[in-house]
């Protein structure tokens, strides 16, 4: 059975640099036999977490917005690709709001002491893609921590990332040396039914 690869486009800009990276990853995954699902967060109504702690009771968010549409995908995908650019030295707001709303998964794991992914299921994998306009040494640090938390709470092993500094104007990613090749390799590894290593 083909692996399901979920791609999350977390930029407010349509077909921007980070979403282009995502499209390259998903194309390679699909060519490798995976079933691909792409979700653009900018098209969804996702409110911020209100820290009500309602999810601590049963692992369900009390807010009724488009995050309810995304939760099943996050739980059922075999591989998850988070593509979110840097805005103001951190993860773009659309993606960060989505990550914050994954608090119910945290509650499932650490309060209710249950697994997010059923026992015996093949290892889930994750990859993070990000473009940043600046070239500061620490420009990706905060966003990487958020992405690592996201994959950890969803019980997905991060098998790689593609971080592209100095990419600002729309379309500049097309000239970033090696990006397309790295993205394609990530896509193939996320689709691979045997091992996430390599």
Look at residue 119 in the predicted model and tell me its pLDDT. 86
Look at residue 1 in the predicted model and tell me its pLDDT. 75
Look at residue 118 in the predicted model and tell me its pLDDT. 86
Residue 51 lies in a domain: yes
| Sequence-ordered list of residues with C-beta below 8 angstroms from that of 145, at least 6 positions apart, any chain | none
Is the pLDDT reported for residue 36 higher than 70? yes
Look at residue 153 in the predicted model and tell me its pLDDT. 97
Look at residue 50 in the predicted model and tell me its pLDDT. 96
Is the pLDDT reported for residue 54 higher than 90? yes
Three-state SS sequence of 111-143: CCCCCCCCCCCCCEEEEEEEECCCCCCCCCHHH
Q: CATH number for the domain including 176? A: 3.40.50.360
C-alpha span between 162 and 183 (Å, rounded): 7
φ, ψ of residue 132 in degrees (nearest 5): -135, 140
19, 95 Cβ separation under 8 angstroms: no
Is the pLDDT reported for residue 176 higher than 70? yes
Residue 49 lies in a domain: yes
Stretch 8-19: mean pLDDT: 94
Domain coverage including residue 22: 4-191
- pTM across the whole model: 0.94
Q: How many structural domains comprise the chain?
A: 1
Look at residue 140 in the predicted model and tell me its pLDDT. 98
Residue 43 lies in a domain: yes
132, 86 Cβ separation under 8 angstroms: yes
Residue 136 lies in a domain: yes
pLDDT, tens only, 118-175: 888 889 999 999 999 999 999 999 999 999 999 999 999 999 999 999 999 999 999 9
Residue 134 lies in a domain: yes
Residue 196 lies in a domain: no
Stretch 100-111: mean pLDDT: 97
Residue 197 lies in a domain: no
pLDDT, tens only, 60-103: 999 999 999 999 999 999 999 999 999 999 999 999 999 999 99
């Amino acid at each position: 059975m083909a692996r399901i690869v979920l791609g999350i486009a977390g930029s407010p800009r349509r077909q921007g640099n980070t979403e282009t990276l995502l499209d390259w990853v998903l194309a390679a995954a699909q060519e490798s036999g995976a079933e691909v699902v792409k979700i653009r967060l900018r098209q969804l109504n996702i409110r911020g977490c209100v820290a009500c702690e309602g999810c601590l009771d049963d692992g369900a968010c009390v807010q009724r917005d488009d995050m309810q549409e995304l939760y099943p995908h996050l739980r059922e995908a075999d591989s998850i690709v988070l593509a979110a650019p840097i805005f103001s030295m951190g993860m773009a707001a659309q993606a960060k709001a989505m990550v914050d709303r994954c608090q119910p998964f945290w509650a499932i794991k650490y309060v209710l002491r249950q697994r997010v992914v059923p026992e015996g299921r093949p290892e889930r994998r994750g990859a993070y893609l990000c473009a940043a306009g600046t070239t500061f040494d620490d420009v990706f640090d905060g966003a990487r921590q958020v992405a690592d938390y996201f994959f950890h709470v969803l019980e997905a092993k991060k098998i790689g990332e593609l971080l592209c500094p100095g990419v600002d104007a729309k379309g500049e990613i097309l000239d970033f040396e090696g990006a397309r090749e790295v993205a394609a390799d990530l896509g193939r590894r996320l689709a691979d039914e045997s091992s996430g290593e390599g």
